[in-house]
Amino acid sequence: MNTIKELCGFLWEIEKEYDLLDWETKGIHYWEINRVKIYYELATKLGIMDSPIKLRSRKKSKISTIQKILKNIINFPFFSTKKETLVFTHPRSKFVDNRYIDIYTKDIIDDLSNNKIDFLEMEASYNGKYLRNNNKRKRYIDSVGYFVRLMKLLDRRVVYDKKVSIINKIIFKKTGVDLRLEERFSNEIKKSIYTYYYFKALSFFIKPKKVYIVTAYFNKEIIRAFKEQGAKIIEIQHGVVNKYHLGYSYPFNNQNKRYQPNIFLTWNKTWKENFDYRVEKVDIMKESFLSNGLKKYKDVQKKQKQMVVLSQTAISNEIAEKIYKNIDFFKDFQIKYKLHPHEYETWEQNRYLKKLSNLNNFEILKDVDLHFLLAVSEYQLGVFSTAIYEGLEFGCKTFLLKATGIEYMEDIIEKRDMVLKNDFIYCEAKNVGEKYEDVN
């Protein structure tokens, strides 16, 4: 099993044969809640994706820990009264126009503010920090983690379904990977139970009519709790949605409705027309970080032969290695290698990227304005990064590396009539023999 396509096919097969999405213990559909995590762990252990490089743990000072706890007490969500709308923001922040924002929910929050909607903004820390400005509508929700850890310490039960061992053996036989599902699910079921209880109580206090959320597949307990209270759950698109993303892919239409959003807000008409995630309604955002970037940089002139490379944490080693081993292909380009945020502090451990950084036409970029970079670059190169779709909107001529996850881009390859060159890179056929002739 060497590809994402093969791994997804295997997981879909056992899900269908054993009705895994219906398996339930203590009210928790534990396979449904954990299927994306299981997929990523298998992909990593099978060598399909890179293992994430762990940062050296930095000892937290007592002062910073106390500050975090105090912020969670002062901004405790249960101190809130009834609100019409909740917005669960993405934990990661980006520095834009001299302040930190959540690029996925900013425009939603601005729209709610401008229309004088009574709402609260729910924020979790990122790497233990809160980078965005505090305000009267902000509530910090790291207290859910404290509550869950406490309850798990008090709850010594071993909770899992005995059928789990069968699936563990099937996965091991096929892949050679022992996921230790009995132990995993005993822990995850209790975690899900108490996370659900926390947000069920919160939903009773606040009683919102609408809840906006990012990455619904990692927040299923939140969705269930507020749905049961009668709220409409609206998921905001944050990345690629296709049949190989197990957060959204249910080929047998067997997803559990209690964990699915009611409405999905997508970036534009193209995404809506190609949407196959089964929800009640798909809408297009009025404004988004992307649409605002397109307006902001619509008059920017592109630099000839400038290429932005869009790195990805899960396959960063493979991307750098393929570029390095085919460096002659790129000799006439000025390469701007845009790191993923998770790589900012670890990229020097990537030996091929370290070698590339010494080349005269190669520059490593960290927290830059990605939209300006795409607007000013004539070319873009990547595998299945969400930013590739943004680059297409900015008119970038596109290369796709033949690497792990290229299955995600089957629609792009087909619709843009891309052809495989030199057995390692896809180019748009209309340009082969013209713009790319001098680099082959």
pLDDT at 263 over 90: yes
What pLDDT, on a 0 to 100 scale, did the predictor assign at position 31?
95
Q: Give, as one character, the DSSP assignment of residue 129.
A: B
Sign of CA dihedral 342, 346, 350, 355: positive
pLDDT at 162 over 90: no
What pLDDT, on a 0 to 100 scale, did the predictor assign at position 222?
97
pLDDT at 389 over 50: yes
pLDDT tens column, 402-412: 999 999 898 88
| Closest residue by Cα to residue 192 from 30, 355, 76, 312 | 30
What pLDDT, on a 0 to 100 scale, did the predictor assign at position 437?
42
- Burial-class residue 137 by CB neighbours within 10 Å (0-12, 13-18, 19+): middle
**Stretch 143-166: mean pLDDT:** 89
**Tokens, residue 438:** 């001098």
What pLDDT, on a 0 to 100 scale, did the predictor assign at position 28?
93
What pLDDT, on a 0 to 100 scale, did the predictor assign at position 59?
56
Are 283 and 275 within 8 A, CB to CB?
no
- Helix and strand numbers (H, E) in the chain are 15, 16
The Cβ of residue 388 has, within 10 Å, a number of other Cβ atoms equal to 22
pLDDT at 330 over 60: yes
pLDDT at 301 over 50: yes
The DSSP bridge pattern shows strands 397-401 and 425-428 to be antiparallel
d(CA 260, CA 112): 23
pLDDT confidence tier of residue 307, bands split at 50, 70 and 90: very high
pLDDT at 440 over 50: no
**Stretch 320-334: mean pLDDT:** 94
Average pLDDT, the chain: 90
What pLDDT, on a 0 to 100 scale, did the predictor assign at position 199?
98
pLDDT confidence tier of residue 436, bands split at 50, 70 and 90: very low
Dump strand ranges (E) for 70-193: 85-88, 94-96, 99-101, 119-123, 138-140
**Stretch 273-279: mean pLDDT:** 76
d(CA 76, CA 24): 32
pLDDT tens column, 57-89: 455 667 778 888 888 888 999 998 899 999 999
Provide the residue type at 144 as one letter: V
- State in Å, rounded, how far the first CA of the chain is from the last one: 32
| Closest residue by Cα to residue 106 from 9, 214, 17, 14 | 214
pLDDT at 394 over 70: yes
pLDDT at 12 over 90: yes
d(CA 375, CA 378): 8
The CATH code belonging to domain 297-439 is 3.40.50.2000
pLDDT confidence tier of residue 434, bands split at 50, 70 and 90: very low
Q: Which residue has the higher pLDDT, 280 or 271?
A: 280
pLDDT tens column, 185-223: 999 999 999 999 999 999 999 999 999 999 999 999 999
Name the residue ranges covered by the structural domains of the chain.
1-293, 297-439
